[in-house]
Structure 1
Amino acid sequence: MVIGLHAERVTGEPQAVRWVVATEGVALGRVVSAPGDLGRLLADGTLTAGLVERTAVWLWLRGGLSWRDEGAPVSAALRAALAEPRAWVIEPAAGEILERVTADLLDGSVGDFVRSHGGSVTAERDGEVVTVKLGGACEHCPAAEHTLYQRLIGELRRRCPNLVELDSGGGRPGLTLADS
């Protein structure tokens, strides 16, 4: 079985890559250990951390190493490890997953849309809850709720189907992930 994946840079984190791939069967959260060569790369410190979300695996490379040199071996190791989903050891990290996925969307198309209208959008994490706030021109815009719910929360639901909205008041929705 061939597992298709591709790498995406993580804004502001040159040692991180988000490997876009279906993670079916692997628990979501922080990687404690993984099977095969991926596990060895984590154990020997080549990779310093990993995080599994529904549509990707985030991996951090040790400082001083480059993705240009390490990308192909990491990609091969990740493909092989994903073929053994039950062999992964994962620590729950719902708040961290939600924070990273939200930041990824805000650094990309969702944030670009808001900024193109003179607005700003921020997300803050407190434990397992991420609170989102629109600012600038979008803060009091009649279409702000539409922007927030149709663009951001719609994309979040695609990548985090167990997303739960909490009423945090003041037009600042609190978001969390239900146990999966």
Structure 2
Amino acid sequence: MTFLDAPTIPPEVLQLWKEKQSSAFQEKISALSETEFQKDYLAQFFGGPSLASLKGLGPEHIDALLVKAHNELKAGSIPAACDTLMLVMALDPNEDRAVYTLASILQMKGCYYDAGLLYMRYIMLKAMEPRGYLRIGECLLGDDHIAEAREYITGALSLATEAGDTLTQQQAKTMLSQLEQRDSAVAL
């Protein structure tokens, strides 16, 4: 099982939510597939106000916290940086810079499953950003899910080519080449 198989909404939350709805609404919901329900749930989640905005915090406050996390990383205080990034994500779950940075830290620590979940969140926020797909591929490689990794790396290459992102293109090509060499060595 990879992080790709993780449910978007915990099953117990999904069940409780369905039980609390009116019978007419339950009929409508029961006609939806779980994927359609999750898309609707996520649309509501992404569309609502952030805790930061409810508390009167503006983008400059989020930026200040991100600078703090950056300084903590530069100083080698990774736990403090992770705490600051988690605070940013609690204040604004749609802050893609915090999601990506925290995912990168987890990936570097070898926590591929958790990093992969955050990269999945990142591509929900930035669907056309090839780096997110490439990083998911790296996490899948780290957990030895080669076929799935190849799909994400190929997707990253395609998106990077469309976007003119030469750095991500080169990284994806290198990784695909290494996978081909691995396949050749295994075939022998």
For Structure 1 versus Structure 2, the TM-score category normalised by the shorter chain is under 0.3
Greater fraction strand: 1
Greater fraction helix: 2
| TM-score (normalizing by structure 2) | 0.26
| TM-score (normalizing by structure 1) | 0.27
Bigger relative contact order, structure 1 or 2 (CA pairs below 8 A, ≥6 apart):
1
